[in-house]
Amino acid sequence: MKTYSIELQRVKAMSNRHGLISARIDAIVQPQASRRGAGDDVDEPATVLSFDEDTARVLLLLLKAQLAEFDRKKAKSRY
């Protein structure tokens, strides 16, 4: 399994269609060297996603807006 280091720089736009949220982003994606040693308890290496606080706040706000839009489109229960 390949692992990557992903640096999220900017979220340009987000949308949802049929329950799938899509995001247009600027990011730097680089293969991550394996750092597993003999004493490592980790079975699978992990991909790392990193971003600064401002980008995290923008991503959080956009995700909340997209989820709210998705919830409005869901059919209401009829009990």
List Cα–Cα distances, 30 to 18, 33, 41, in angstroms. 31, 9, 24
pLDDT of residue 35: 61
| pLDDT tens sequence across 13-44 | 888 787 788 889 999 999 887 665 555 555 56
Break the chain into its structural domains and give their ranges: 4-33+46-73
How many whole angstroms separate alpha carbon 53 and alpha carbon 46? 22
Handedness of CA 53, 58, 60, 61 (dihedral sign): positive
- Sign of the C-alpha dihedral, residues 38, 42, 46, 50? negative
Query: Which of 24, 26, 34, 25 is closest to 4 using CA atoms?
Result: 34
